[in-house]
Structure 1
């Protein structure tokens, strides 16, 4: 545990004018207030605020911030009050300690209706005095360093919260060093095996590239000296979590990463940065698209540096960062680098706002948000804009879920668990029922209602925002549709075996799969259900000697003209309106049958029947886009096929669209082509007419698909026809 004099010495090492008496009084007061309290590790509780204060002395913060760190748990965890702190240490330190207490009570996993108000207080507290955030980040850093003493569930929540909230917040404030350590500690706790694997690969790569790295570093230094540039060259290694995140986000293998090792060149003056850049770019070829100048255009978090990649010695790609030493200090410590001492004095908040882009951004954000009439409106405009394009929501148990802007309760459900998304049927946001496709706001508490057996509608895929949700919906709907087709196909196959006087068994069909060119029984059933395979073929595959003597209704000699002869795989039979009635097995009476209203169907088309209660059965060609309306209703699909007597020539409906030049004789040429091929024109409708072109829809009657294709080919060959297509209604 850090001694009293050690704390004073640490502060005086960078601030000779430190208030020694104030620091000593804070040390003694906090030690007495915490008394015999223990941490989860068994250490005295007082060791924690001292460790937090030590972290902040490394950032060279002012006396008030160090004292607030020492006292930051007193109001929350002891009998001390804000009045006590104000009286003994002054209102400035009292305000800092109270701000930290409010944030601790929030802990960023509040699940009550106060959530919006708590987030508002958090942002306002940070914007009012950035030192609140600095102490809170140091507090979280020490907690992460000692996380192993926590129960796993609590430690897991803290680590997830660190990755989701505190590390990005540190990064947004430009505190790169603290962000990297927070990320690495959380990564080690949440995914130790992944981190160990990356460390192992890093070690192997370091041994392999060690000599080359040393050579590049030496050559860079020599060339800089040769042009009278006083610069310090250091190797830089990417942290394990950064490597893992890049591999995940870009789906890259470890070997594909080109920026694991790099070099940092530090100089004294900004002008020297560009001199170094000029020397490097004239000595080695650059890699296109890998140059960024963050000195002329700093990042919003105050980061300034030049990034470039060149093909260096040994044809090795070399990533370089060029910056001044002051830029490096800001890059590592961010807003803390501005905070505190300039010309031996502490900056006030107004000066800090002029010094730091990150702090100015935060103040502007809060000023804009403060214009809202309510905490909810406060959050509605940006909802933690410091996390850019993310919104943060909570489960009823307080788990934090990070989602992209525009995310819905369905995205939320899939982020929690794939099965929760697949079975979601409703949602409550902050206790109120909302549509599943509502947009979520920061701080929303989302509760998902589910129902077993529910399948996500395919339309959800176009409405959700996250890739995880889109992929899961595609997979679930594909599996559900396949299962429905397989179920329908199984019914058809079993009935086909019954008609054949055979007993169906999966095992027998399994031995016959090679004859059907399918890998498993479910594939066969799905193929029959989709109409890709005839059930009689399945029976024949199992019993090769079987002959299906069944016929669909009476023979051709007993049928009236115009009957088109459909055979249904389940043994169902139909009647065509105005023609002979044929009973439907298993139903009372009979059903009317008609062709698709737009486009019809002709012999040679692969066809399906759609059963619509009260309307009968409509026959569609398999390529008809209208069938997509029935994708989620496989129970309506009937396996039908043509049963045409080749000796009888009957006409069937078809429809074509033609675009032709608006010239004399063009229509005559179209009708002649149809007539020459034996087609009969039932109707012609002009849908669009201009000076140059006319579009028309022609209803035809043809014998079969071969005749229809011949008509289409001859029409396309005519010079006056620019386009002709068959309509598949």
Structure 2
């Protein structure tokens, strides 16, 4: 290390020591904690210094200043001493040789549990970075179900990491910033910690898109001009007006954070000049009644903007946030946003669940309400998605972290909170899973509406059900809540597994028959057990599902039932599997050749898709015979199948109308049409994908098309 670099690190370390050293931390703690607890925090800092000895951050300063800075952030939120000790020690299990047990002996079980909750899971070979991070995140949320202080430590940890992100390599910097925007800032929002959320957003935005951030920051400053002067003028006018009405209130103005301005521009597709509410003001009063009186004063001083008022006191947000929101035209034509709330509401709005620890238990009404809501949210995540894989779980959490909400009513008048853009299907699943599974339509304010209708504030929703109705895969295209999406996916997955089991059983029985092995062996535990053990399955249903979904080949599994001396026995001609057309998700029909009942067919086992059916003459149906499953159409085949029809015709007005009419009259429907460029000449070629019952039905369609005088040739592709 060069002399200049060592000197630079020493200067930086001294500066960090002054701001985030243990003495600076203790000066903050002495303002609200007893001396005995401050001494415990100091002891934890000495312990952390010793175990992190020799470790340095990328910036060059000793590593211990990072946990001390995390504790300083929590101290400014006035957290209890147990949380502060855990914050100082939050990396010792992960980065040093200290175990959870020894930490519990030294500082108590509560501290050890908090530190363990924040620590990442142990590295597992074979897992990707994304899977490892997803598993660590699930572990963090699971720890939250026991103690919410875990997430406060993690958010403070992430905040300090974001503040010092400049020293990290660009690729890692972008990954951390994106993760912060997608997960940690929304969690801070969900838990009501406004101060953390806004700083995390702006820091992540600046790291991820530095040019956009700089340009937008400069443009906002240019548009507002002397923003401080405008803020002082509004603060003074509102303060005087409120005082004249006998309302004791504090008025504080601020410029909105850059990321929220950027998001509004993207969401509403606005240019900066069209984003008027760049300034926000908070009016803090003593009582709830004063909130509504202050609203009248604000509207008297500044003209309100129509339809831009929200009452989150009567209808609190899911994170416990309460406030009155209004927009007015301020000085110089600037649109200003005004939030009016009580002091207790302000504490909850700024600190969210942290407000619970800022007061003594029960000292203030509702101080624990945000914490109770947070517990309910996290517990709900594990109730709904606890069984999902780590990657699926984190996706469900991302979907669930919606900051914007709508409030709708059940027919009995109960309020349901849903994310913005939610539909009747989301509403149905929010009420009960059974209601969602069987819904077929909805009445919104008494009017029958389709299930993909977007719901709005104040609407009353009634779900219409049918006993035999089931979730539809198309619902995944419009549902907004993670609960609805998870329930639909679980149903479809279960349906796929059931069909795979049935198909796998049929394939294995055919394969056994080819080897002259009776299907009764599948019920003989002595002969079945070694086969299941060889494939690591616990029961025969898992084996069937693996065969039906293409993970195992029936022929190879069947040979394992042969006595050892007969494992090389020759196979006879395979008996074909009869296709009935009702196998659903366990059977797929190739798009390249569109097989129809009556065609000679064969099947290819594809992992995840089950058996893919091809026509024998298809170019993709070639290859080694052992890779293919012999298939035949059952006499009971039913359903609609796709067929591709090519047409060569004279380019005449009304041609397309004539063709579609003839297809319809032949009791077929059109799924897809591809038309050529009409400037291509007198003769055109068209491609139609239509539904038919079988080859005979297709021949009937082709005959009708050949009767059209403009058509030169019609053929099946």
What is aligned with 2:55?
37
1:24 to 1:390, Cα distance in 2 relative to 1, 3 A: closer
Kept in 2: contact 1:305–1:327 (CA 8 A): yes
Distance in 1, matches of 2:326 and 2:100, equals 52
- Alpha-carbon distance between aligned partners in 2 of 1:217 and 1:567, rounded to the nearest angstrom: 76
1:53 pairs with 2:71: yes
2:673 to 631, 635, 638: 631
Measure, in 1, the Cα distance between the counterparts of 2:347 and 2:296: 24
| Aligned position for 2:162 | 144
Where in structure 2 are the equivalents of 1:578-589 lying within 5 Å?
none
C-alpha separation in 1, matches of 2:375 and 2:359: 21
Label 1:187 to 1:103 Cα distance change in 2 as closer, same or farther (>3 A). Answer: farther
Over the aligned positions, Cα root-mean-square deviation in angstroms equals: 4.8
Instruction: Tell me if 1:359 matches 2:401.
Output: no
Q: Secondary structure of the equivalent of 2:253? A: strand
Paired residues of 1:338 and 1:355 also in contact (CA < 8 A): yes
Q: Which of 240, 263, 275 is residue 245 of structure 1 equivalent to? A: 263
Indicate the SS of the match to 2:88.
Answer: helix
Shift in alpha-carbon separation, 1:95–1:45, aligned structure 2, 3 A: same
Aligned CA distance change for structure 1 residues 390 and 636 (closer, same or farther; 3 Å): farther
Alignment equivalent of 1:64, drawn from 49, 58, 82: 82
Aligned to 2:97: 79
Counterpart residue number, 2:387: 375
Partner of 1:494: none
d(CA) in 2 for partners of 1:384, 1:79: 35
Q: What is the match of residue 130 of structure 1?
A: 148
Structure 2 stretches lacking a partner, 5+ long: 1-16, 404-420, 427-471, 478-492, 498-590, 593-646, 685-706, 711-717
Match of 2:325, SS state, is strand
Equivalent position to 1:100, from 118, 121, 130: 118
Give runs of aligned pairs for residues 519-538 of structure 1, distance below 5 A. none
1:11 and 2:51 correspond: no
* Other structure's SS at 2:306 match: coil
Equivalent residue for 2:179?
161
1:182 to 189, 200, 203: 200
Q: How many residues are aligned here?
A: 441
1:509-553 deviation digits (Å, cap 9, x = unpaired): xxxxxxxxxxxxxxxxxxxxxx9xxxxxxxxxxxxxxxxxxxxxx
Name 1:228's counterpart in structure 2.
Answer: 246
**What residue in structure 2 maps to residue 676 of structure 1?**
none
User: Which residue, out of 194, 212, 228, partners 1:194?
Assistant: 212
1:259-279 CA distance string (max 9 Å, x none)? 111322122232222221122
**Alignment of structure 1 residues 576-615 onto 2, 5 Å:** 605=653, 607=655
Match of 1:39, SS? coil
Contact 1:284–1:310 (Cα < 8 Å) also in 2:
yes
Q: CA deviation at 1:122?
A: 2.5
Asked if the contact 2:137/2:394 (under 8 Å) is kept, the reply is no
Distance 2:386 2:349 in 1: 36
SS of corresponding position for 1:309: strand
TM-score if structure 1 supplies the norm length?
Answer: 0.52
Matched residue SS, 2:157: helix
Residue 88 (structure 1) shift: 0.7
Q: CA deviation at 1:703?
A: 13
The alpha carbon displacement at 1:235 in A equals 1.7
SS at structure 2 position matched to 1:264: strand
Alpha-carbon distance in 2 for matches of 1:210, 1:368: 44
Shifted more, 325-334 versus 84-93: the winner is 325-334
Closer/same/farther in 2, CA of residues 309 and 161 from structure 1, 3 Å limit: same
1:161-182 Cα offsets, whole Å, 9 max, x none, are 0001100001100001101111
Task: Report if the CA contact (8 A) 1:335-1:356 is conserved.
Answer: yes
Structure 1 runs not aligned, ≥5 long = 392-402, 412-428, 434-455, 458-530, 532-565, 570-603, 611-617, 643-700, 705-729
Conservation of the 8 A alpha-carbon contact between 2:285 and 2:291 = yes
What residue is the counterpart of 1:207 in the other structure? Answer: 225
Partner of 1:292: 310
Partners in 2 of 1:360 and 1:619 — Cα distance? 61
State the SS of the aligned residue for 2:172. helix
Spell out, residue by residue over 1:22-71, the C-alpha distance to the aligned partner (whole angstroms, 9 max, x if none).
Answer: 22221111111011111111111111111111111111111111110111
The CA distance in 2 between the partners of 1:115 and 1:231, in whole Å, is: 46
